[in-house]
């Protein structure tokens, strides 16, 4: 009897608490609410590129969330049989996956804990360093994005390293390395992207000092050849590009193979942000022939791996390319006086350019405001 009434009291108290916490506790002077978002789903394919969070604190939340999703996938794939008779602490397994994420997002949206103005004031001097003149220019913002991106990339590499380095000696050997499941599962004549990736030649090219083992730097290059400084790996990437484009399998890229595939990529790289409507083949033929002629150094009418090297960075954009693209986008959105650089005031007045946010109107007319880059 006593136990039951206690139970009822507790339940009612909890319900009241829940209602109170859900009900709006402040009058809304503003017609629009905003809610900051953190990413909730992650794609682990290396070909996919996501913008990096501007604020390291948001990045940290996303990283932890991504780790959790990654671990879950890894356990499902690698230890499928183990996951069934795995004794988790009671409640731990049953806990919905999004719960921590919602808490983290709630934290960001609690204006007393996470004040966007204060964050921007705190971050500004860390970005405005070259020179520290009270303005954030494109280079400074690109460098900042790069730092965030590098931290993310290295974090993922370390995570991968731990799973591949089976004997825990700090190196990955080719025997230890297992390609990602989506590579193993893809059939051999599917999309050419997978052809030479994650194979021994790719591994050897990443092994800068040729000791048969990849240390963390080399393994990171292996996973991200577009960002490497290792000339062997850059040449491998170029060879791989030839293999992928070489539809008649003669080992070289002829004009037709160049025009249908490569040229568009190079052109879109140069035209970033401009109108990407596709003019007819006829109008593009001349510029394509001109570029082909410039690249074809020995004039044999074909492009070899070495001849593709000058454009390999455009075919495989680096982190720096994305960092700059993201910087340009942010500046274009927040640079109120259009002088090409940001002051702290401009940032404070346009805070949500720096954070992914959803805006909700009072009349429930939700719409999503988010970044445009791919």
Q: Which residues here bind ligand NAG, judged by CB under 6 A?
A: 111-112, 115, 117-118, 187-188, 200-201, 204, 208-209, 212, 215-218, 275, 277
Beta carbon nearer to ligand NAG, 236 or 292? 236
What's the CA gap between 5 and 8, in Å, rounded? 5
Q: Which residues pair with residue 319 across a beta bridge?
A: none
Beta carbon nearer to ligand NAG, 216 or 235? 216
Beta carbon nearer to ligand NAG, 44 or 114? 114
Q: Which residues pair with residue 359 across a beta bridge?
A: 34, 367
Token pair of 77 as six digits: 């794939």
Instruction: Tell me whether strands 367-369 and 172-173 are parallel, antiparallel or unpaired.
Output: unpaired
Beta carbon nearer to ligand NAG, 5 or 188? 188
Nearest distance from residue 7's CB to ligand NAG, in Å? 39
Nearest distance from residue 283's CB to ligand NAG, in Å? 13
Whole-angstrom Cα Rg for the chain: 26
Beta carbon nearer to ligand NAG, 140 or 346? 346
Work out whether the CA dihedral 162, 165, 170, 171 comes out positive or negative: negative
- DSSP 8-state assignment for residue 260: I
Nearest distance from residue 265's CB to ligand NAG, in Å? 20
Beta carbon nearer to ligand NAG, 42 or 373? 373
Instruction: Give CA separation, 91 vs 15, 71, 87, 98, 309, in Å.
Output: 21, 18, 11, 14, 55
Instruction: Tell me whether strands 32-36 and 172-173 are parallel, antiparallel or unpaired.
Output: unpaired
293 phi, psi to nearest 5 deg = -60, -40
Nearest distance from residue 118's CB to ligand NAG, in Å? 5
What's the CA gap between 341 and 135, in Å, rounded? 6
Nearest distance from residue 121's CB to ligand NAG, in Å? 7
Nearest distance from residue 351's CB to ligand NAG, in Å? 10
């Amino acid at each position: 009897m006593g136990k039951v009434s206690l139970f009822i009291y507790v339940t009612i108290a909890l319900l009241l608490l829940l209602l109170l916490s859900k009900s709006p506790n402040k009058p809304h002077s503003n017609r629009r609410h905003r809610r900051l978002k953190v990413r909730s789903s992650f794609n682990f394919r290396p070909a996919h590129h996501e913008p990096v969070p501007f604020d390291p604190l948001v990045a940290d939340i996303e990283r932890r969330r991504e780790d959790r999703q990654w671990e879950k996938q890894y356990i499902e794939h690698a230890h499928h049989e183990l996951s069934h008779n795995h004794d988790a602490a009671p409640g731990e397994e049953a806990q919905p996956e999004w719960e921590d994420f919602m808490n983290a997002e709630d934290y960001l949206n609690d204006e007393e804990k996470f004040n966007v103005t204060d964050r921007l004031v705190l971050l500004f001097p860390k970005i405005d360093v070259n020179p520290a003149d009270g303005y954030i220019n494109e280079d400074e913002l690109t460098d900042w994005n790069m730092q965030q991106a590098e931290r993310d990339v290295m974090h993922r590499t370390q995570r991968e390293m731990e799973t591949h380095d089976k004997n825990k000696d700090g190196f990955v050997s080719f025997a230890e390395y297992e390609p990602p499941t989506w590579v193993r599962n893809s059939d051999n004549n599917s999309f050419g992207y997978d052809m030479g990736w994650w194979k021994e030649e790719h591994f050897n090219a990443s092994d800068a000092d040729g000791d048969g083992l990849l240390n963390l730097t080399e393994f990171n290059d292996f996973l991200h050849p577009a960002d490497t400084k290792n000339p062997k790996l850059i040449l491998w990437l170029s060879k791989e590009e030839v293999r992928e484009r070489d539809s008649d399998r003669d080992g070289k890229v002829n004009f037709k193979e160049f025009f249908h595939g490569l040229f568009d990529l190079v052109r879109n790289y140069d035209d970033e942000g401009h109108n990407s409507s596709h003019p007819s083949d006829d109008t593009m033929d001349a510029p394509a022939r001109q570029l082909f002629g410039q690249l074809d150094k020995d004039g044999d009418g074909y492009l070899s791996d070495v001849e593709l090297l000058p454009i390999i960075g455009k075919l495989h954009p680096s982190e720096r390319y994305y960092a700059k693209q993201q910087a340009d986008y942010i500046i274009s959105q927040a640079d109120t006086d259009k002088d090409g650089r940001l002051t702290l005031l401009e940032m404070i007045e346009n805070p949500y350019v720096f954070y992914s946010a959803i805006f909700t109107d009072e009349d429930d007319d939700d719409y999503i405001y988010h970044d445009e880059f791919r």
